[in-house]
Structure 1
Amino acid sequence: MTSEKKQNVVIVGGGAGGLILANSLARREEFSVTLINDTPYHYYLPQLLQIAFRGDDSQLKRELADLVKKDVKLIIDSVTSVDLNNRTVTTSSGKTFSYDIVAIAPGLSIDHAAVKGNEKLVSLYGDFHSTPENAWRAFNTISSMKKGRLVVAVADPGHRCPPSPYEGVLLADEAFRARGIRDQIEITIAVPYPRAYPAETFNEVIEPVLKERGINIETFFTVDTVDLDNKKMTSLEGGELPFDAAIVVPIHKGPKINILPEDIKNEDGFIKADKLTNRVGNFDDAFAIGDASAASNARTGVTAHLQAKVVEKRLLGFDARNTGRTNCPTEIGMELGTFVISDFGHPSVKLPPKSVFFIMKRFFADTYWDVLKHPEFWDPIFDAYFENTSPERLWKLFP
């Protein structure tokens, strides 16, 4: 064992990025790792979609104590502030932790009230981007609906999991077909973009599926207000949509943690970090990863995972950098799936829907918990996967 003093690493947040970074560093004798999380559980957020449209919460959560390696010091407490100038992290219980390196990965916060009327709407119909309770409300909405108009509207282009609204309407379509009532229900997806999906190349994949399934596409519709009494929503562009049941993908904002200096966050509360290195501002000893970072090109578990590995390598002295790789498995119902795969140098690949992609998504979900606890085993597997499914290679196969 080296006689040099270990670097004291404090990680704020036990989501995918924070947990993978903690377990990756804990294996190495150079580091002493403390992980602080506000709940004793780790939540697999893609399962909210499965709850909302399939009533399946089997993969929703696990205890953090079972997911961290023995050398990680796990603290269950809410972080209230991070002082980058004085290298301290303070919690709601009044404890203060000093650090040599801090990684800020607490996720984001959901602001239902940012869309007028949405607080009442979500309390009635639920959603699949905030809490398990709201996902179960969405499941009850889909399960009890027999006729009428279902609207899924995107209020925030920067929401978690870019393809999730499209998965939502397609899984709703599947659920209604299974009950034999699809012809009694009109489904609309309302988006603030000029096309169904913001990335033109992936739109060429998903829009034909939506049209084939009879799902209406309302473009240039940024939700502004929801009028629950009159069952309609209006957009910033001046449009209006009636509904019998509706789900709004809510406004996402940065973590509710006081971070000093105050200008280290943007106007929405996300942490200003370099998109290549994850370094916060000009601080060499601070990194932001995952949903909390303003630099996240996509708010997904894969993004947080890859950013965590970049931070690990940089702490080991390597000049590692994010490539902007996305790898979003997208379920489209009928046991079919596709992926949103891109990077900083290549737009989304036009992967046609296939059964194998549906199987791959389920496989990722089944292996998720082991990936979190044993990244050292899965690293070479994922390295090979990401190399062989690089956008550059796939574009040659699916031009």
Structure 2
Amino acid sequence: MKTFLILGAGTAGTMIARKMAGKLDSHDWKVILVDKDEKHYYQPGFLFIPFGWYKAEDVIKTKQEFIPGNIEFILSDIEMIEPAANKVKLTKDNREIAYDYLVIATGASIHPEETEGLQGAGWHKNIFDFYTYEGAAALHSFLDKWEGGRLVMNVVENPIKCPVAPLEFLFLADDYFTRKGIRNKVELVYATPLTGAFTKPKSARALGDILASKNILMETEFNTGEVDSGKNILRSFDEREIPYDLLISIPTNKGADVIGRSGLGDALNFVPTDKFTLQSKDWPNIWVMGDATNIPASKAGAVAHFELEFVVENILAHMAGKNLPGGFDGHASCYIESGFGKAVLIDFSYDVEPLPGKYPLPGIGPFSLLKQTTINHWGKLFFRYMYWYMMMKGIDVPLPSAFSLAGKEQ
């Protein structure tokens, strides 16, 4: 019997495991899914925890809830991937799994230890992350009692998971402090290594305008060198200094440690991947999905969802000895909470930047692109239900995986 092995049971890993288990003949193939953590996190929901919108039960479920009985689920860390031998060594019972096909979906995580002083005396006291449940929950406790001061949002370096989340946090912070009646006591600052609010010109201008309208200051091209928690100063490599009372950090994001140990990744442990086929650039029977790849697409759940159709098609073609159809165009779609019950939607690809217009139906929508609307806000909130009860349950979401210019104003 052949083995189809998936490493990582997050968004991408769970979807591909379910899909392939339904495609492969169970008499010929067994599907095995490995993850070190029994908890499944709805990571986009971490954004709302600091402001009291969501609680633990809204963003945490067990992975087992989403893994059907025809998939063998192993709870274990991964010691080593040995692609030359087509095997993976687990830490649990020193088990080795020989595979015929492997999907790496080991995700990305924050590494505050990569920045000097970030995890010093101020960590989770007046320096917080919100890219982990623990960090977001600790920040909620802090904000609940905070009476104001200078809040600095800092992205240490790119790429990061959900590139717009730092902006969303600032927009929601403006909303939160306004509702508490202390916005006049809070200074909001965004320190980013980018030259603007986002990477694409039109959306950078639109999002930059929202920042300006909310009196949120920007420090662009700020390449973080160290945090002096004794003096409450964020310092760049070119010795610019930003004082803070509260520092919200998006630390360096890296792929899984096992990718580095196994010699499969780049300097940040992301796996070199063909951006169209999502096949490993080095090993033809290895495929990479979601945040684990080094492709120039956003590291977000929607991207993993759009990748799925193309990964499955390419794997099945490879198994049949056919040419790979390729096809993934870098499609990304993201709701950006802008506060006060509104949100912005962006939809883009490798080659096409976010444009204004309507989505998904041309001229109808109901969602507006690059505009703040109430329905976009409800779309953002509804995505959590779509995630738990459709994407993770193997129910196809009725949205096209391929990017389309239909409905967009060029």
Q: What TM-score comes out, normalization by structure 2 length?
A: 0.89
Conserved? CA contact 2:129–2:249, under 8 Å: no
Matches within 5 A, 1:1-399: 7-30=2-25, 31-54=29-52, 56-57=54-55, 58-93=57-92, 94-120=94-120, 121-125=122-126, 127-258=128-259, 262=263, 264-317=264-317, 319-350=325-356, 351-375=370-394, 377-379=395-397, 381-383=398-400, 386=401, 390-396=403-409, 399=410
The Cα of 1:291 is off from its aligned counterpart by 1.0
How many residue pairs match? The answer is 385
Query: What is the root-mean-square deviation in Å for CA atoms of aligned residues?
Result: 1.8
Change (3 A) 1:357 1:271: same
1:299 maps to amino acid: K
Cα deviation, 1:213-266, whole Å, max 9, x if unaligned, reads 11111112122111111111111233111111111110011211056862x311
Change (3 A) 1:29 1:268: closer
Cα deviation, 1:354-376, whole Å, max 9, x if unaligned, reads 1111111111111211223433x
The Cα of 1:19 is off from its aligned counterpart by 0.3
Give the secondary structure class of the aligned counterpart of 2:221.
coil
Q: What TM-score comes out, normalization by structure 1 length?
A: 0.91
Change (3 A) 1:165 1:261: closer
Output the CA distance in 1 between the equivalents of 2:212 and 2:383: 28
Q: Which runs of 5+ in 2 are unaligned?
A: 318-323, 357-369
Conserved? CA contact 2:259–2:270, under 8 Å: no
Conserved? CA contact 1:142–1:172, under 8 Å: no
1:359 maps to amino acid: W
Conserved? CA contact 2:329–2:349, under 8 Å: yes
The Cα of 1:287 is off from its aligned counterpart by 0.8
- Segment drifting more, 124-133 vs 243-252: 124-133
The Cα of 1:56 is off from its aligned counterpart by 1.6
Output the CA distance in 1 between the equivalents of 2:150 and 2:265: 40
Q: Where has structure 1 moved over 6 Å in runs of 4 or more?
A: none
Give the secondary structure class of the aligned counterpart of 1:102.
strand
Task: Determine what percentage of the aligned residue pairs are the same residue.
Answer: 22
Change (3 A) 1:146 1:117: same
Conserved? CA contact 1:20–1:372, under 8 Å: yes
Output the CA distance in 2 between the equivalents of 1:154 and 1:53: 20
Cα deviation, 1:114-171, whole Å, max 9, x if unaligned, reads 1111113432235444421111122123222212111001112211101000001111
The Cα of 1:39 is off from its aligned counterpart by 1.1
2:36 maps to amino acid: D
The Cα of 1:316 is off from its aligned counterpart by 2.2
Conserved? CA contact 2:296–2:350, under 8 Å: no
Give the secondary structure class of the aligned counterpart of 2:18.
helix
Give the secondary structure class of the aligned counterpart of 2:43.
coil
Output the CA distance in 1 between the equivalents of 2:74 and 2:262: 24
- Segment drifting more, 11-20 vs 325-334: 325-334
1:81 maps to amino acid: M
Give the secondary structure class of the aligned counterpart of 2:188.
strand
Cα deviation, 1:296-318, whole Å, max 9, x if unaligned, reads 51111112222233221112226
Change (3 A) 1:168 1:220: same
